[in-house]
Structure 1
Amino acid sequence: MATLTNPDVTIPNTQEVSFKLPWGIIAGKLWGNPDSEKKILAIHGWLENAGSFDRLAPLLFANELFTQKYSMLAIDLAGHGLSSHRGDGVPYIIMHYAMDIKLVLNQLGWKKLTIFGHSLGGAISSLLAIGISDQIENFITIDAFTPLGIRADQYLNRLKDAVESASTLYSIPDGFKTYPTEEAIIQRILEGNEKLNVEAAKVLAIRGAKPVENGFTFTRDIRIKAGSSIYFLGNSYLEFIQEVLKHIFVPTICIIPNESHMKLTEMISELKFPENYSNKFVSGNHHVHTNNPEVVAPVILEFLNLVSQC
């Protein structure tokens, strides 16, 4: 095939957008009326892109009330999808992602919004729910409470691993290999993440792969696979999570897939959640919103309907 497309995905009223930041471009896609009363900013997970919401968006916009009130912008984080790669020597760390998003919001001029993130995107969103709390109306997260903390006695080993992985990845001259066909690169996505189904891999490939002379290669920066040297320290990995939860004051729902590997279910009994915070269990794995969007869409619609009545 000459191009990466998925005819099975219906995208309502969508347009490609981009935002010029000091270091490069943040790309994204916007669904719905840009002048809508309510706004949603969607942030994808690690190694993914804005396409992870392609299968969910049509189900949300199939709801008449949602279409009347909301628009949704999904961005590609730096180094992912169609966004620019950071400059040589600049690492990919969570606080930089959060700062990028704040700059995007400044350009948009959004005064209020619902922030919606999956995995890494959920962790970033939790920081924004605190850092720009005056702008955040609601917080939706899938399979992530907050960034994970790390015990101080583990920090040096993590730092060592980060330096070694960065050294290896940064020395690769040409980045990713080339795959001869669309089917081949989709198969590589599936091999790299066995939790994805074929339909999910296809939508991720639309923004996550590009044609080159002898086939296709990945668009993302190979350096994002390097471990970060920046961690949040605490006496236990739960201590930091608990501290963040204490400072999230907006209506929040965490959608937890019952087959997730993130161990959120185990953490729940050890954490205290504020009254504004609810956890909702659904059937599926870590990528439930892309694999099985029909499971996630009703939960989001119900939550937004509930908070609109408060």
Structure 2
Amino acid sequence: MGLFSELKLAVPWGHIAAKAWGSQHGFPVLCLHGWLDNANSFDRLIPLLPKDFYYVAMDFGGHGLSSHYGPGLPYYQLNFVSEIRRVVAALKWNRLSLLGHSFGGSVGGMFSCIFPEMVDKLILLDSTPFFLDCNETGNLLTYKRKLIEHTLQMGEFSKKPSRVFSQEEVLHRFLQNNSHVNEECGDLLLQRGATQVATGVTLNRDRRISLPEHSIDFISREQYEHSITKLQAHTLLIKAIHGYYDVRRENDANKEPVHYMVGKLKSALEERFQFVEVPGNHYVHMSHPHHVAGIISSFLQSRDRVPAQQ
């Protein structure tokens, strides 16, 4: 399981890059990284998981080694959901499990509600199946307006040449912007997230992608409650004790929305839902993968409840 292969799946705007572990004959598990991360996010976790599955970690469009969208096209959350569908079609899968961290978990959750018959198990790593708008329903149109205006502004910015950094500078900037990532994990993500050029390194990600809220599909509580009734997948939500609770961070101290979502998942899915808290921060699956590997392994291999965390 330490060995992996690189995949390159054709799409109309270029390709979706991915890396795969295990035998293609194993039941497929598609791994979805967080915002501005890439497939290397799972390098430390997957070797600890059961060997009889086929794990594919994709780079979302504009991330890692995947192609950027064409000029003027926005990075809507539903576009990323559509990318999952394209990957599933390209790999000729009829049914799969999804393992998603942070933003990837929410994209996977949306996919699982739109295509419920395709998803056997849904694993959410410090994530929720949707982004909930916390009592701000009146702002939903404002968010969409900001996304459109941001796309227009970044269209001009993206025409400028990519900035070149030294290896040390790009790592330092990355760690400054990601307080939950240690240096070793940051270096691992940058191995796939940056490209060596003659005078230094450039970031691979599309510069139109900056703040996740510019692409997120926030939904109301009513929409959330309706959507999760469509879920057929057995669902595991692993919450890092020192992880994030709100994507916008300024409201991160307010844990009520997450507690509300967990409560509704328990009510809607009953025995098909499991919730486990683990020590660690938002990137616990990278920094301390053993904290989550056993829980995920038990969940993948059995429909019984996950054993209590020791």
Regarding TM over 0.5, the answer is yes
Deviation of 1:148 (Å): 1.4
- Contact 1:232/1:240 (CA < 8 Å) preserved in 2? no
Shift of the alpha carbon at 1:175? 5.5
Structure 2: segments with no counterpart, 5+ residues: 247-253, 306-310
1:231 CA displacement: 3.3
1:255-274 alignment runs, 5 A limit: 255-263=238-246, 265-270=255-260, 271-272=263-264, 273=266, 274=269
Moved more, 291-300 or 46-55: 291-300
1: CA distance, partners of 2:140 / 2:112: 26
Give 2:11's match in structure 1, choosing from 11, 14, 21: 21
Distance 1:296 1:111 in 2: 27
Matched, 1:208 2:204: no
User: Contact 2:278 / 2:291 at 8 angstroms: preserved in 1?
Assistant: yes
Check the 8 A contact 1:146/1:244 in 2, yes or no: no
Distance 1:20 1:120 in 2: 23
Equivalent residue in structure 1 for 2:173, among 183, 188, 212: 188
Indicate the residue corresponding to 1:129 in structure 2: 112
How far the C-alpha of 1:160 sits from its partner, in A, is 4.4
For residues 104 and 247 of structure 1, what CA distance do their matches in structure 2 show? 22
Structure 1 residue identity aligned to 2:194: A
Equivalent in the alignment of 2:291: 295
* 1:107 to partner: Cα distance: 1.3
- Return the alpha-carbon distance in structure 2 between the equivalents of residues 13 and 229 of structure 1: 34
Query: Aligned residues, how many?
Result: 289
- Which among 158, 179, 182 is matched to residue 165 of structure 2? 179
Please report how far the alpha carbon of residue 257 of structure 1 lies from its aligned counterpart in structure 2 after TM superposition.
0.5
Cα 1:262/1:99, change in 2 over 3 Å: same
* Partner amino acid, structure 1, of 2:42: F
Q: Which residue of 2 aligns with 1:4?
A: none
Which string of whole-angstrom CA distances, capped at 9 and with x for unpartnered residues, describes residues 231-271 of structure 1? 3443xxx3333333222122110010011222595335433
CA RMSD in angstroms, aligned pairs only: 2.2
Alignment of 1:113 onto 2:96:
yes
Equivalent position amino acid for 1:290 in 2 = M
SS at match of 1:258: strand
Contact conserved, 1:51 with 1:204, CA < 8 A, in 2?
Answer: yes
What is the deviation of 1:195?
A: 1.0
Per-residue CA shift, 1:256-305, capped at 9, x if unaligned? Answer: 00112225953354332221111110111111111221211111012122
Deviation at 1:167, TM superposition (A): 4.0
Mean alpha-carbon deviation: is it higher for 76-85 or for 243-252? 243-252
2:195, 2:203 within 8 Å by CA — same for their partners in 1? yes
Q: State percent identity of aligned pairs.
A: 31
Mapped contact 2:99–2:123 kept (Cα < 8 A): yes
Query: Does structure 1 residue 87 correspond to structure 2 residue 70?
Result: yes
User: 1:115, CA displacement in angstroms?
Assistant: 0.8
**SS of residue in 2 equivalent to 1:257:** strand
Q: Is the contact made by 1:257 and 1:282 (CA closer than 8 Å) also made in structure 2?
A: yes
Pairing 1:192-271 to 2, within 5 Å after superposition: 192-225=177-210, 227-228=213-214, 231-234=217-220, 238-263=221-246, 265-270=255-260, 271=263
Shift of 1:223: 0.5
Question: CA contact under 8 A between 1:14 and 1:29: conserved in structure 2?
Answer: yes
What SS class does the counterpart of residue 222 from structure 1 fall into?
coil
Contact 2:119–2:232 (CA under 8 A) maintained in structure 1: no
Task: Provide the residue aligned with 1:286 in structure 2.
Answer: 282
Shift of residue 229, structure 1, vs aligned partner = 6.5
Aligned letter for 2:32? Answer: I
Measured in 2, the distance between the counterparts of 1:208 and 1:85 equals 13
Structure-2 separation of matches of 1:15 and 1:269: 39
Instruction: Look up the match of 1:46.
Output: 35
TM-score relative to the length of structure 1: 0.86
